[in-house]
Every structure is written in C-alpha cells, then in structure tokens.
Amino acid sequence: MSDKPEFNKLDSDCTLPPDHPLPPDQLGRYSPARDFYAENDIAEYVLTQARDETVQNVERVKTEYIMGDPYEVWDVHTDKDRWWVITNPTNLYSQRHFPGLDYTLSFHVGLMMRVRSRSE
C-alpha cells in the first residue's frame, strides 16, 4: 500500500468538461489583458490568408525574444480551423499540421532566416 493519499484526478484538475467547451467566440471575454488593436491586426491578416473563414477568437499566447528579435505567437480560432500566427514577419500555420507551439515557433524562425538569406 502506498503512503501517498489517493484522490480523484478529476476533482483536482481545473478544466472545463470536454462535453461543454467554451465556444471560441466567447473565449476573449475571459482574458484580462487584451490588446484590441494588435488582435484586430492579426485577425485581418488571417482573413487575407484564409479568405473563406471567419475569425472567432484571437489570443496572444507568448512573446519570445530570439537573438534580440521579438516573435509574437497568436492562437487564432476560425469557424473552420485553428491557427498559430507568428510575427516577424507574420505567417500562419494550421494547428492540425503544427500542433506544438514550440516546434512551430522553431520552424517559423528557421524558415524566416532562410527567406531572409535568399532576399539578401
């Protein structure tokens, strides 16, 4: 017998039940720190790249500095897909094909370095 107390994992997690997820268009209501202008810029970018989709929620997930350059990572929900949008320069990646944020950021930084090298 273990010395550790037993508990129900469901009682300890602070998660929404999977059968009642919060709709994407309601997620922004519960974010205390929002930048509406930046969110609008990202939403408009997605609309130019995914023209047949409607943006439902835009959330900045993180800003990471790589070799002194800021890269913002955004999680964007549309009516048809979910996207990572990464800046500097801006590009989007379907979360179906790029599910991991860190891998996607590394991929983006490497891709942008290759693009910049070609333009020089």
Question: Cα–Cα distance between 101 and 20 in angstroms, integer?
Answer: 25
Please tell me what DSSP assigns to residue 92: E
- What does the pLDDT read at residue 35? 85
Q: Are 71 and 64 in contact (CB under 8 A)?
A: yes
- Spatial neighbors of 112 by CB under 8 A, at least 6 apart, are 88, 89, 91
Interatomic CA distance for residues 96 and 7, integer angstroms: 34
pTM for this entry: 0.73
Which of the pair, 7 or 111, is modelled with greater confidence?
A: 111
Residue 119 has pLDDT above 80, yes or no: no
pLDDT tens digit sequence for 15-64: 555 665 666 666 655 566 688 999 999 999 999 999 999 999 999 999 99
To the nearest whole number, what is the mean pLDDT of the chain? Answer: 85
Which range among 7-16, 19-28, 64-73 has the greatest average pLDDT? 64-73
Closest CA to 108 of 63, 77, 71: 71
